[in-house]
Amino acid sequence: MSDQESSNAPPVEAAEPKIRPVGGTEYSWCKAVPCGTGITVLALLLSKPPKIPLLQNAIHKLQIAHPILNSQLHFDLTSSAFSYITPPTPQLQIQLFDLPSTAQILQSLCPSVSPYQLLLEHELKTNSWQNLDSSLDTAVFFASLYTLENERWVLAFRLHTSACDRTSMAALRRGLLETIGWEAAAVERVEMEFGLGIENYIPSGKSNKPFWARGVDMLGYSLNSFRLANLSFKDTESPRASQVERLCLNSEDTDMILSGCKSRNIKLCGLLAAAGLIAARSFKGIPDDQWEKYAVTTLVDCRSVLDPVFSNHHIGFYHSAILNTHDIKGGEDLWELATRTYTSFANAKNNNKHFSDMADLNFLMCRAIENPGLTPSASLRTSLLSVFEDPMIEQSNELHQVIGLEDFIGCGSVHGVGPSMALFDTIRDGELDCACVYPSPLHSREQMQEFVNEMKRVLLDGSTD
């Protein structure tokens, strides 16, 4: 081709960003995250120094494979609508904190808690989306690397929950470890479709609800909220942040409670909810024959029942919620209550309430955010506990040794709207490990340590009966 022909050739057009509006459930998270709930964090404790270029390349490969991780949230000031804008190339840069800068963050935090956990809590309160109603677009995905003493590092990923639920968080961690562990180039990545919101994939007829039934349910949810009991609030005025306690059982105790669940044909979520309800009720010091009503929110991963079916590698928010209330008195038997709580949830799910009530619960969530006074002591508490229908199952492998992975915690913040405690349960190498997230100082660390210890006692004592 001559120089003249080359100069007359049409210019190559740069790829345009992809844009799509958020779905209904995603919109509720866009409203919740600025006030503090829905900051998803995955924190990895490493004993080997990460290779920054390799890590950066691995993250970019994941962003290419899962375009939603490369997106920015855009707020239209005119229409008050949110949308995702996805540029053609990844732009995330890891924020690095050396030993002095990490120490500076830690010195203002609680000295009785491990630095690893404190950095997790620091990430849970770092709200990149606090001012989403401005003209600036904000990424949904951030990464930080902190340096600790004794040759330890904490790699933290912070994500907007509308783009990453718990299943997505696990897929992100596994994909990252795989990519880093096998030196990136050996792992083939195929770009996945940027999926729509969960509402677009609900099977036909599953979300149908008559108009009057919807009105009755909305009224019932609203009236019940005024009758719900809660853990006592310690400080309802001060600014809030999410803190974490861990409930851990050894393999023998874990096997005992899982066997008990299997023999009764219930899931672990029912047992954890029952233990939490009994522990909360025992704190009140009221007569055994006095009843109290508590709410439990159970989160359901809908990927396997959507149309089309999604794999666990499909990143986005594809969970739904079922809210049940339970009347509790003193002296409850753990397994009887666990069966009752699980049966209530299972019946609701069998009646498709995880789909038919989705819009109702999203609406009520947004109303609570806009009108805190509708909740007890303006606390924004919508239930005592939130649990997941199924735990994450994890097994250590060769890749963990390759990168020096010593521990990991994945959870989401709850210091805006939400429960008094959210349980993120994992069965790791046969041992139960729950990250228990709560809003502070609405609840104090001492109070929630006592609450978690009581839950553990109830689980162990009740499982031996």
Other beta carbons less than 10 A from residue 400's beta carbon: 16
Q: Does the residue 442 lie in any domain?
A: yes
Query: How buried is residue 217: exposed, middle or buried, by Cβ count under 10 Å (0-12/13-18/19+)?
Result: middle
**438: closest CA among 408, 456, 411, 464?**
411
d(CA 382, CA 37): 12
d(CA 105, CA 363): 37
Element (H, E) at 420: strand 418-428
The C-alpha atoms of residue 311 and residue 93 are separated, in whole angstroms, by 28
Residues in a beta bridge with 408: 44
Residues 271, 349 within the same domain: yes
Identity of the amino acid at 214: R
What is the C-alpha separation between 73 and 294, in angstroms, rounded?
35
Choose the final residue of a domain: 155, 181, 207: 181
Residues 26 and 174 in one domain: yes
pLDDT for 428 equals 96
Element holding 363 (H helix, E strand) = helix 358-370
Residue 51 lies in a domain: yes
For residue 27, what are its two tokens? 């919109």
Looking up residue 372, the CATH number of its domain turns out to be 3.30.559.30
Q: Identify whether 5 is part of a domain.
A: no
Neighbours of 203 (CB within 10 A): 14
Buried (b) or exposed (e) across 161-186, using 16+ Cβ within 10 A? bbbbbbbbbbbbbebbbbbbbeebee
227 and 168 in a common domain = no
- CATH number at 99 reads 3.30.559.10
Other Cβ atoms closer than 10 A to 160: 27
Same structural domain for residues 140 and 230?
Answer: no
pLDDT at 465: 62
> What is the residue-level pLDDT of the chain in tens, covering all 465 positions?
444 444 455 444 457 788 999 999 999 999 999 999 999 999 999 999 888 998 999 999 999 999 999 999 998 888 888 999 999 899 899 999 999 999 999 987 777 889 999 999 999 999 999 886 666 789 999 999 999 999 999 999 999 999 999 999 999 999 888 887 655 444 444 556 678 999 999 999 888 766 556 555 655 566 566 688 899 999 999 999 999 999 999 999 999 999 999 999 999 999 999 999 999 999 888 888 889 999 999 999 999 999 999 999 999 999 999 999 999 998 899 999 999 999 999 999 999 999 999 998 998 899 999 999 888 899 999 999 999 999 999 998 888 888 899 999 999 999 999 999 999 999 999 999 999 999 999 999 999 999 999 999 999 998 776
Rounded-to-integer distance, Cα 149 and Cα 296, Å:
40
Domain for residue 2, yes or no?
no
Task: Tell me what pLDDT residue 111 has.
Answer: 75
* Residue numbers of the domain that contains 362: 198-463
Checking DSSP bridges between strand 241-248 and strand 319-328, what pairing results, if any? unpaired
pTM (whole model) above 0.85: yes
Domain boundary among 150, 181, 212: 181
**How far lies 384's CA from each of 32, 232, 316, 387, in Å?**
18, 11, 26, 10
Angle between helices 251-264 and 445-463 (to 10 degrees): 60
Strand intervals (E) in 266-336: 292-301, 319-328
Residue 442 has a pLDDT of 97
Same domain, yes or no, for 120 and 214? no
The answer as to whether 9 is a domain residue is no
pLDDT of residue 215: 59
Nearest alpha-carbon partner for 83 in 176, 2, 165, 197: 197
- The model's pLDDT over 78-104, given as tens digits with 9 standing for 90+, comes to 888 899 999 989 989 999 999 999 999
The verdict on residue 202 lying in a domain is: yes
Distance of CA 440 to the CA centre of its chain: 17
DSSP state of 232: P
Residues 171 and 292 both lie in one domain: no
Closest C-alpha among 246, 247, 249 to residue 463: 249
CA 207 to chain CA centroid, Å, is: 24
Q: Are residues 171 and 226 in the same domain?
A: no
What is the C-alpha separation between 338 and 279, in angstroms, rounded? Answer: 13
How many domains is the chain built from?
A: 2
Q: Which of 316, 293, 453, 294 is nearest to 387 (CA)?
A: 294
Give yes or no: residues 149 and 212 share one domain. Answer: no
Residue 12 is given by DSSP the state P
Specify the pairing of strand 18-21 against strand 81-86.
antiparallel
Question: Does residue 315 lie within any of the structural domains?
Answer: yes
Mark whether 150 and 247 lie in a shared domain: no
**Residues 289 and 381 both lie in one domain:** yes
Runs of H (alpha helix) within 33-114: 52-65, 99-106
Per residue in 294-324, pLDDT (tens digit) is 999 999 999 999 999 999 999 999 999 999 9
Please say which residue of 125, 156, 181 terminates a domain. Answer: 181
For residues 146 and 230, membership in a common domain is answered with no
Does residue 4 belong to any structural domain of this protein? Answer: no
3-state SS record for 438-459:
EEECCCCHHHHHHHHHHHHHHH
Do 211 and 141 have their domain in common? no
Tell me the Cα Rg of the chain.
23
Residue in the block written with tokens 């958020």: 22
